[in-house]
């Protein structure tokens, strides 16, 4: 099970620098994603064999430094609700500020583990200045310098000790596929799930708690069987202002990481907004299959916008990963819900398909020969052989003499050719070039 670590603190204490340092350890491996990483506030990290997700709450605060304290308080309350461990970052240069005291006051009330990180401690003099932070009443602190990285090792050792040991997976158990229904508040996730399972008694079991908050329901109808991970019905209304973007992203992180396929519901009347994008890129970054359902299609004035125009607009926002099924549904009138399930099951099959090495070479080598990578500095790249790696998600390796000369556009060309010839709709693909 993946753990969530939230970094909290007032603006300008160096949360983002520390966050970047944490996720770089893995970023190079996990996120060899084409193009830019869209979302700088969420990443994966690993230390001493323990994997965890890191959320930088600071990145979600809009506006400048003089943000009113209420916004920061909301961020901290959310982190307290959603995270397993909280790292509270303060700044030795400025000492304890009233806002730090506010945050500490909130943190002292909770039982979750809190690590206090005193940042910008880059000399012995500042080590002494850090003593002041005992006054926050949070016990021991760790001195770090986010820029140079000194001290982060001890902090991460302490963090790793707080995280549970990774669970051993039983390879022999064929687990049911897990479909997570994700999306921003009010996109219709609950109605969709109720339409699927509400009226009938075919539900085999309700298993609470593979994650602390998402409920798994085994769905078994119309020849489909899978676990439905519901993130919809778990919002504590009183705590959350509906407009808080950070909230749905936090909630989605867990559901997405625990799923095979993400069914992303968007509200047709609102369009494909920034937050829908954040959730989409979260799923893509975690290499999950994705199906997009445009819900409430029955409410849209059809003369202003046809499905074709609407779909085209969404695909423009999804570039470069546009090979994703988009369906127009209505949870209310149950329009196309079965089609949505069929599509999700198909994406699950696409994600686990294996292509025989002989078939792959037979197809791809002539394509490469007709259109080889462009020469660089007078040197020609010769690709001799390719194969699919034995990984849970589709990854392909192409062996060649000068892998460093193969650039992003050519990788995309190869990916497009794979997609033209094999059905990987809805599934992110990784392509590597290696020296033979």
Residues 324 and 187 occupy one common structural domain = yes
Between these two residues, 165 and 86, which has the higher pLDDT value?
A: 86
- Do the domain assignments include residue 106? yes
- Do the domain assignments include residue 171? no
Residues 233 and 382 occupy one common structural domain = no
- Do the domain assignments include residue 365? yes
User: Residue 407 sits in a domain of what CATH number?
Assistant: 3.30.300.20
Residues 32 and 106 occupy one common structural domain = yes
Q: Is the pLDDT of residue 183 over 90?
A: no
Residues 206 and 131 occupy one common structural domain = no
Q: Is the pLDDT of residue 152 over 70?
A: yes
Residues 406 and 282 occupy one common structural domain = no
Q: Domain residues for 283? A: 178-352
Euclidean distance between CA atoms 26 and 44, whole angstroms: 7
- Do the domain assignments include residue 170? no
Residues 243 and 322 occupy one common structural domain = yes
Poorest-pLDDT segment among 9-23, 122-136, 336-350? 9-23
Domain finish residue from 162, 190, 215:
162
Residues 373 and 242 occupy one common structural domain = no
Residues 429 and 369 occupy one common structural domain = yes
**Cis? peptide before 320, omega within 30° of 0:** yes
Per-residue burial over 163-201, b if 16 or more Cβ lie within 10 Å, else e, is: beeeeeeeeeeeeebbbbbbbbbebbbbbbbebbbeeee
Domain finish residue from 290, 324, 352:
352
Q: Is the pLDDT of residue 246 over 80?
A: no
- Do the domain assignments include residue 234? yes
Residues 247 and 319 occupy one common structural domain = yes
- Do the domain assignments include residue 27? yes
**Where does the pLDDT of residue 321 fall: very low under 50, low under 70, confident under 90, or very high at 90 and above?**
confident
Highest mean pLDDT among 145-154, 172-181, 383-392: 383-392
Residues 199 and 347 occupy one common structural domain = yes
Q: Is the pLDDT of residue 67 over 60?
A: no
User: Residue 238 sits in a domain of what CATH number?
Assistant: 3.40.50.300
Euclidean distance between CA atoms 251 and 279, whole angstroms: 10
Poorest-pLDDT segment among 243-247, 293-297, 299-303, 378-382? 243-247
Tokens for 179? 């479909």
Residues of the chain above pLDDT 70, percent:
81
What radius of gyration do the chain's Cα atoms show? 24
Residues 320 and 418 occupy one common structural domain = no
- Do the domain assignments include residue 169? no
Residues 186 and 148 occupy one common structural domain = no
Predicted confidence (pLDDT) per residue in 8-57, tens digit = 888 888 888 888 888 774 433 333 333 333 445 777 888 888 888 888 87
Between these two residues, 41 and 293, which has the higher pLDDT value?
A: 293
- Do the domain assignments include residue 325? yes
Between these two residues, 202 and 425, which has the higher pLDDT value?
A: 425
Q: Is the pLDDT of residue 74 over 80?
A: no
Euclidean distance between CA atoms 198 and 331, whole angstroms: 12
Predicted confidence (pLDDT) per residue in 298-319, tens digit = 888 776 668 888 899 999 999 8
Q: Which residues are annotated as a binding site for GTP?
A: 9-16, 56-60, 119-122, 183-190, 230-234, 295-298
Domain finish residue from 128, 162, 196:
162
**Where does the pLDDT of residue 192 fall: very low under 50, low under 70, confident under 90, or very high at 90 and above?**
confident
Task: Provide the number of structural domains found in the chain.
Answer: 3
Predicted confidence (pLDDT) per residue in 354-367, tens digit = 999 999 999 999 99
Q: Is the pLDDT of residue 127 over 80?
A: yes
Euclidean distance between CA atoms 113 and 84, whole angstroms: 7
Q: Which residues are annotated as a binding site?
A: 9-16, 56-60, 119-122, 183-190, 230-234, 295-298
């Amino acid at each position: 099970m993946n753990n969530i670590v939230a970094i909290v603190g007032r603006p300008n204490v160096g949360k983002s620098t520390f966050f970047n340092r944490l996720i770089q350890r893995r970023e190079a491996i996990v996120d060899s994603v084409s193009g830019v990483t869209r979302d700088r506030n969420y990443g994966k990290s690993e230390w001493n064999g323990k994997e965890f997700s890191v959320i930088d709450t600071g990145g979600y605060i809009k506006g400048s430094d003089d943000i009113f304290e209420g916004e920061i308080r909301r961020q901290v309350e959310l982190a307290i609700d959603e995270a397993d461990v909280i790292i509270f970052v303060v700044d030795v240069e400025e000492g304890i500020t009233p806002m730090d005291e506010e945050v500490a006051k909130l943190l002292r009330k909770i039982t979750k583990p809190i690590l206090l990180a005193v940042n910008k401690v880059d000399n012995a003099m500042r080590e002494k200045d850090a003593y002041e932070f005992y006054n926050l009443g949070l016990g021991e602190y760790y001195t770090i310098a986010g820029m140079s990285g000194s001290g982060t090792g001890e902090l991460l050792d302490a963090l790793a000790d707080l995280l549970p040991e990774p669970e051993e997976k039983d390879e022999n158990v064929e687990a049911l596929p897990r479909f997570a229904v994700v999306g921003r508040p009010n996109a219709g996730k609950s109605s969709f799930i109720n339409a699927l399972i509400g009226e009938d008694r075919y539900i085999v079991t309700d298993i609470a708690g593979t994650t602390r908050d998402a409920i798994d329901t085994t769905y078994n109808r119309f020849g489909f069987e899978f676990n439905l991970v519901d993130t919809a019905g778990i919002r504590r209304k009183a705590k959350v202002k509906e407009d808080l973007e950070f909230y749905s992203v936090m909630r989605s992180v867990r559901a997405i990481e625990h799923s095979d396929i993400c069914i992303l519901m968007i509200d047709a009347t609102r369009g494909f907004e920034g937050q829908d994008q954040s959730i989409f890129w979260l799923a893509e970054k975690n290499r999950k299959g994705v199906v997009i359902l445009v819900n409430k299609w029955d409410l849209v004035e059809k003369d202003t916008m046809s499905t074709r125009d609407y779909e085209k607009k969404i695909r423009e926002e999804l570039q470069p990963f546009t090979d994703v099924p988009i369906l127009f549904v209505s949870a209310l009138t149950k329009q196309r819900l079965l089609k949505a399930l069929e599509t999700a099951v198909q994406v699950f099959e696409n994600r686990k398909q294996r292509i025989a090495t002989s078939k792959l070479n037979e197809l791809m080598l002539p394509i490469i020969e007709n259109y080889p990578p462009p020469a660089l500095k007078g040197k020609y790249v010769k690709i001799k052989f390719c194969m699919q790696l034995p990984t849970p998600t589709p990854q392909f390796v192409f062996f060649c003499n000068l892998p460093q000369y193969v650039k992003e556009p050519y990788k995309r060309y190869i990916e497009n050719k794979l997609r033209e010839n094999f059905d990987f709709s809805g599934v992110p693909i990784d392509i590597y070039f290696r020296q033979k």
